Amino acid sequence: MDIYLALVHHPVRNRAGDVVTTSVTNLDIHDLARTARTYDVRGYLVVTPIAEQQTLVQTVITHWTAGSGRTSNPDRSQAFTRVEVVPSLDTAIEAIAARHGQPPLVIGTSAKKDRDTVSYASMRGRLSSEPGSALIVLGTGWGLASDALDRCDVMLDPIDALPARAGYNHLPVRAAAAIILDRLFGDR
């Protein structure tokens, strides 16, 4: 399958469980662009409904793909050619559907097991054997809100350490993205 990654800034939860819009951070754009490119993700979609933040993301993308960043750091530039900014998760899904002629398999992620989940091993097999496209959805803040989870066709298991080492579950989204992509597409 052709793989896409969405980093959602709305609707997500804050620590209190309220539905909020988080701010885009420059480092998330950079880190996830490089990590996504490493695992040959076709498109990394930064999802924010805030127009000013969309402009900010587009400015960063343009700097690295057409501006001086293109020559100063070609590797970084190569990663940024696959970054896009979109106003909503629905827009992301529709854009991928338009590109591939059918909607992507929407794969949700969460640090908590509130819904039925599938293992990385089974998803790895499915993604490598089926045609079409898939969109892996990551939430910022304290994770995807219900409205975003409801758009997912399937949820991945929460990331955890071996049982003897488990008990702390507060990975940065940058780390979670890397681990998820490696579990699905890493050469181990």
Residues near its own copies, by CB under 8 A = 27, 30-31, 34-35, 37-40, 75-76, 78-79, 119-121, 128, 159-172, 174-179, 182-183, 185-188
Q: In the β-sheet with 154-155, what is the strand arrangement from edge to edge?
A: 83-86, 43-47, 2-8, 133-139, 105-108, 154-155
At 84, is the secondary structure helix, strand, or coil?
A: strand
- Sequence-distant (6+) residues with CB within 8 A of 188 are 182
Instruction: Name the residue nearer to its own copies (CB basis): 40 or 150.
Output: 40
CA nearest to 93, candidates 135, 124, 53, 63? 135
Residue placing its CB nearer to its own copies in the complex, 35 or 89: 35
Q: Closest CB to its own copies among 33 and 89? A: 33
Measured from the CB of residue 121, what is the shortest distance to its own copies in angstroms?
Answer: 7
CB of 73 to its own copies, least distance (A): 9
Distance CA 91, CA 45 (A): 10
Q: Return the axis-axis angle of helices 26-38 and 173-185, rounded to nearest 10°.
A: 10
Residues 84 and 91: beta-carbon distance below 8 Å: no
Q: Which is nearer to its own copies, 17 or 186 (CB)?
A: 186
